[in-house]
Structure 1
């Protein structure tokens, strides 16, 4: 085929010709993985059998380069591929044949995975995939194993074997569902021997695999098979009535976008609290046309209950989602919450029963029984994960499952993987071992932190400090451009995460930038609702926003400036706390509120009467809020001394004014950085530590109070002033 409608042809002959054989494999993998109609995030694998020189003997030897365990085809590099002696891999068949308990799901099958290390070429440290035998035992020099929705729709159909013959004729063979591993590789080897003209195999309820001795031909074969499957499905789909008849037709109507978002904002923090009883989750919503077509449909309850088919899908989405039969036209939010609560209780009970019915003597302990996908008519889908990236991928995978169900129902009847087979994948000891090898989660993993004042200075530094510990960061500032810039710095460094471009799923990553005026309750509530839509809720808030208005030379400050100072430094913090408290109580999850006071709160001095008294009030606000919000929320404060470098409170004119006030020599044409350094050192010399105080010093205090390191501390103010003895407690 030269013209593709359902996949994207991306092969570039000139670029491929410039690459060595391994890099050609990486290139082929990347362009296959870049099209989500070809394979899902993290799914599928590719390989090439390449002649290399043995590092010990110098002799030419055939090496299987195959995408290793973990990783994503779209982003894989050379380091993501295992390299193994092909002759040694083939020799492992004798080892397997000698096992007394060879066969599917036996200890002998799992033991073979450990044998792959004995076949490693050139000490390559990349762990081999469980799919390695599939690539080794097939005859083609180049092999692609993909998970396209169109192919899986056939694989998950009741008449899969018949449909494979009907659609592809004799060009694609069929193998029934087998768990990936050695036995499946042997079965494919037998098929290839018996049918030498076949260059692809349909893998029941899984995906497909294709091969050729030329890598470009292998690539185009892969696209051709997917294109043919998709075209067949779409023709049948349209013949049955298309979108209007999909999934049995619409049962419910979609709420208008504004109403959807209002409803999501009202339920998400509460729902996050409900599903986070074991471990905290970060949410992603999806409410585009495709997912709404499914959740609104007559067949959604039946299909959702059947669960997903492809193992790659349900490892993310669990064996099935929670579908809530709520009528968006006749029922209110209170009714939705009640149905969600009942649905969650039933889901947990059902999951526990599934575990008890399917577990083995050596199965790992039951995992979190809460759903990772929630489907609500009229609204859409909510997906949960340990961070934003994972929740987006969870959403992506359930989108794939929906497309599979759509295709399977159009051509036949959708069937899910039997529960025992699903359990044996979900609780596979090899999968459990992989989970245990993963590094421990960071200190603020799974937690969402709002940093108010993140556009500059201490707030910006705090945002950067907290994201290092795994937090999802909501950067908030009156200046939207500034806070978006901070969020972009974070996402540029840490990435948006993998997944879901162009799927209608909210696309924020580990940080977003929002605007809010903390002296306006409505503005604060709008911002908190936006946070709910982005992440599902929040855990902690750091308020670093503040204002300093100096008195004039007579000691006077205008009334409106006095009011503004108290409005931002005191009332603003209270309004944030009061509005956030509603969300904290809805979630029922413990959190932290950290306010910014100042060493000036304890030290009276000339020229800053409004600022100093507002910070003294902020000190007591910390204590009052600690009482009001206990025991759910700990409230503490950070009291900086003068932070000059990087602070929005010290523009050039204020720095010059302070230098003049303290008779510190300077020139009018001196660089701002030089002026700032002089003033910072002057302030440092007044402290016991004699070192300038930086935003990073303050950010460390916010981290401590946001983390669990001071988990029994509340109602306190931590000073970060370099040792300003005038501010000592007395």
Structure 2
């Protein structure tokens, strides 16, 4: 095959030196990672690869052929050896006889699905990785290496009205077309016969689905995959350009694109309300996209018609549902200011969501079978808004990003198919049989249980250090997405980066143009400025769609001067941060909470000093006493939707930004605790912490982690009936007991 060189639509990343250092399974993993790293080759979590490797039977010591194939779940880009199932090839091929003996065999039969359960009996060397439904597609093709990918360009051919003719036009007899058939045993048998009937073919184009190709070594198989994708992409782009390119794509533009500032303003005002609408069954997290490619589609004349057809590739609509919700707008409705447009969109979305849910219920009723799983959430996972862009929803940021990625793939498939022919979606019944396939349902049930705060978004103000940083990490540990906010943007981002490193950025492929976010974002916020608070909360909406909890740990401590007084201006600063700041944050957050109409939680950090006066901290102590009462007032004001509580630590020295070295030394001197000026700061901190601990009933130092645990309890559902309360986390400071 004459491969295009250089490639224009894919990247050849193979390194012979790197591959030569690997064993056969290592080369399979290497090949898989390279294929998965390019979103034009295959989508996140989609596709699979395999190699047939000579191994030694651990019982007999005899040589045997073993099929190593990407197992159920997982992602080619990030796959490791542990993500691959291994099956004894002879046993796997022997299942053909078992299947042939079943009287009820067929592409949607019980026998077909039962074969998947038998793959475990073919496992080599007790490998526990579950084999996927695509295993026969790899095992029955008599070549050493097989790649199955979902390239947009190839799926565009596969989802065209005359896919078979286009396959011949692009590939001649090197690739054979086969009509849609659900992946599984039956499709594997069909492919086996196609290879026998076409011994010189290098691949098969699967109707509506994707590409599978083969070779007898890893390098050739990888190059073949890239070459076949490149040929389809060049064919499509030539036709696209000849037909007028972007100027005529999807029937040409109908709507204008709003300026970026206006688009972001619309998203920020609309998303919390919309999140409440789609989170009635479970809380959803958003990903927005308004890059040029998606705007070209949502603004187009044919967007409504194409959106209603739904997606083609089964890997796509498992995330995107059978179709998106397209919001119809008159071009003139985009001419107003963002607030006017948001009012229009809310009205149209309220109607559109109701109709979408009804349509989805009708789709389920019309297509369900006797053994179909119960109907799933009927809300759309993709919403398209002309002039503005796309909103994708998922149970977490990772899932919503992948949903956005998949619908971008669907758009590119529609663009390519319409350039060379006419786009054809998968028939509704076939789509339903994939979406509600018992094997897919079983895969969902095998997933590990969700963490306690899964789907929740928490805003932590003061997250750059001390208690706030610890709170951010604690909430993320139990599954929350965390917006880390701090007056110092760099400190907030540092905490967000720590969380992302600890928990991973989530699945998704770089270079897709999908907005980020991951498990945490870092944002600047000055709690003394309402405008700064609103801007920060709007950024949270853009990152996640809204939020469920707000935790304020930001605070200032101004000690008395040498004369025992606090300057007048420092009183104002203390109360501005410690009291008014908490009020402004809660007041602005309340606007978003009401828009979402979802229950929420606000936690303010007060202090044991609020009830225990201490010499030298009069402004701080008074401000914290006011903060205690602010908690009670806000609990009344924001009920019943939002719970408001406080956490009152006693002195937290270790890890606190409020105890720099000079304050530690000042406190040691005040209490007559011996120290040397040349001692390390850590030693001085430990000595002061031990002194404070000795004054408590538990005799242990109080740490930021202790405060974070209390915040965790208040943010989640464990204390869902608690509001207006101050939880003391002070080690048992008896002077602070209620009196």
Q: TM-score, normalised by structure 2?
A: 0.98
Q: Which residue of 2 aligns with 1:118?
A: 121
Of 676, 680, 685, which residue of structure 2 is paired with 1:676? 685
Instruction: Name the stretch that deviates more: 549-558 or 140-149.
Output: 549-558
Distance 2:69 2:514 in 1: 31
Question: Does 1:177 find its partner at 2:180?
Answer: yes
Matches within 5 A, 1:624-643: 624-643=633-652
Q: Which residue of 1 aligns with 2:45?
A: 42
Question: Does 1:474 find its partner at 2:477?
Answer: no
Q: Is the 8 A contact 1:500 1:507 kept in 2?
A: no
Q: Is the 8 A contact 2:72 2:130 kept in 1?
A: yes
Question: Does 1:287 find its partner at 2:290?
Answer: yes
Distance 2:664 2:439 in 1: 62
Report the aligned-residue RMSD: 0.8
Q: Which residue of 1 aligns with 2:80?
A: 77
Give CA-to-partner distance per residue, 1:425-483, whole Å, 9 cap, x none.
Answer: 00111111111111111000000000000010000000000000000000001011111
Instruction: Name the stretch that deviates more: 493-502 or 224-233.
Output: 493-502
Deviation at 1:14, TM superposition (A): 1.1
Question: Does 1:483 find its partner at 2:488?
Answer: no
Distance 1:299 1:501 in 2: 29
Question: Does 1:317 find its partner at 2:320?
Answer: yes
Q: Is the 8 A contact 1:82 1:128 kept in 2?
A: yes
Q: Is the 8 A contact 1:635 1:714 kept in 2?
A: yes
Question: Does 1:388 find its partner at 2:393?
Answer: no
Distance 1:468 1:508 in 2: 16
Q: Which residue of 2 aligns with 1:334?
A: 343
Question: Does 1:53 find its partner at 2:56?
Answer: yes
Question: Does 1:269 find its partner at 2:278?
Answer: no
Deviation at 1:559, TM superposition (A): 1.1
Q: Is the 8 A contact 1:344 1:370 kept in 2?
A: yes
Distance 2:87 2:334 in 1: 59
Deviation at 1:197, TM superposition (A): 1.0
Deviation at 1:361, TM superposition (A): 1.2
Give CA-to-partner distance per residue, 1:509-538, whole Å, 9 cap, x none.
Answer: 100110011111011011111111111111
Q: Which residue of 1 aligns with 2:110?
A: 107
Distance 2:513 2:576 in 1: 39
Of 441, 450, 465, which residue of structure 2 is paired with 1:441? 450
Give CA-to-partner distance per residue, 1:334-371, whole Å, 9 cap, x none.
Answer: 11110111111110000000000000111111000000
- Tell me the number of residue pairs that the alignment of Structure 1 and Structure 2 aligns: 730
Q: Which residue of 2 aligns with 1:33?
A: 36
Matches within 5 A, 1:561-600: 561-600=570-609
Of 137, 148, 153, which residue of structure 1 is paired with 2:151? 148
Q: Which residue of 1 aligns with 2:434?
A: 425
Of 710, 718, 738, which residue of structure 2 is paired with 1:729? 738
SS at 1:170 equivalent: coil
Deviation at 1:505, TM superposition (A): 1.8
Q: Is the 8 A contact 1:501 1:507 kept in 2?
A: no
Q: Is the 8 A contact 1:514 1:527 kept in 2?
A: yes
Distance 1:218 1:506 in 2: 33
Question: Does 1:199 find its partner at 2:202?
Answer: yes
Distance 1:510 1:119 in 2: 39
Question: Does 1:463 find its partner at 2:466?
Answer: no
Distance 2:50 2:434 in 1: 23
Q: Which residue of 1 aligns with 2:231?
A: 228
SS at 2:211 equivalent: strand
Of 283, 300, 304, which residue of structure 1 is paired with 2:303? 300
SS at 1:460 equivalent: helix
Q: Is the 8 A contact 1:659 1:665 kept in 2?
A: yes
Deviation at 1:44, TM superposition (A): 0.4
Give CA-to-partner distance per residue, 1:182-228, whole Å, 9 cap, x none.
Answer: 00000001111111111211100000100111221111111111010
Deviation at 1:500, TM superposition (A): 3.9
Question: Does 1:695 find its partner at 2:700?
Answer: no
Q: Which residue of 2 aligns with 1:254?
A: 257
Q: TM-score, normalised by structure 1?
A: 0.99
Distance 1:504 1:47 in 2: 29
Q: Is the 8 A contact 2:39 2:512 kept in 1?
A: no
Deviation at 1:100, TM superposition (A): 1.1
Q: Is the 8 A contact 1:453 1:476 kept in 2?
A: yes
Q: Which residue of 2 aligns with 1:347?
A: 356
Deviation at 1:248, TM superposition (A): 0.4
SS at 2:172 equivalent: helix
Deviation at 1:553, TM superposition (A): 3.2
Give CA-to-partner distance per residue, 1:572-606, whole Å, 9 cap, x none.
Answer: 00000001100000000001000011101111221
Question: Does 1:644 find its partner at 2:663?
Answer: no
Q: Is the 8 A contact 1:165 1:172 kept in 2?
A: yes
Distance 2:15 2:525 in 1: 48
Q: Which residue of 2 aligns with 1:412?
A: 421
Distance 2:610 2:217 in 1: 75
SS at 2:253 equivalent: coil
Q: Is the 8 A contact 2:149 2:210 kept in 1?
A: yes
Q: Which residue of 1 aligns with 2:527?
A: 518
Distance 1:45 1:435 in 2: 19
Q: Is the 8 A contact 2:39 2:511 kept in 1?
A: no
Question: Does 1:375 find its partner at 2:378?
Answer: no
SS at 1:192 equivalent: helix
Distance 1:45 1:506 in 2: 26
Instruction: Name the stretch that deviates more: 554-563 or 520-529.
Output: 554-563
Distance 2:614 2:83 in 1: 61
Q: Is the 8 A contact 1:364 1:432 kept in 2?
A: yes
SS at 1:64 equivalent: strand
SS at 1:50 equivalent: strand
Q: Which residue of 2 aligns with 1:495?
A: 504
Q: Is the 8 A contact 1:159 1:412 kept in 2?
A: yes
Deviation at 1:378, TM superposition (A): 0.4
Q: Which residue of 2 aligns with 1:400?
A: 409
Q: Is the 8 A contact 1:392 1:500 kept in 2?
A: no
SS at 1:100 equivalent: coil
Distance 2:233 2:515 in 1: 27
Distance 2:142 2:615 in 1: 85
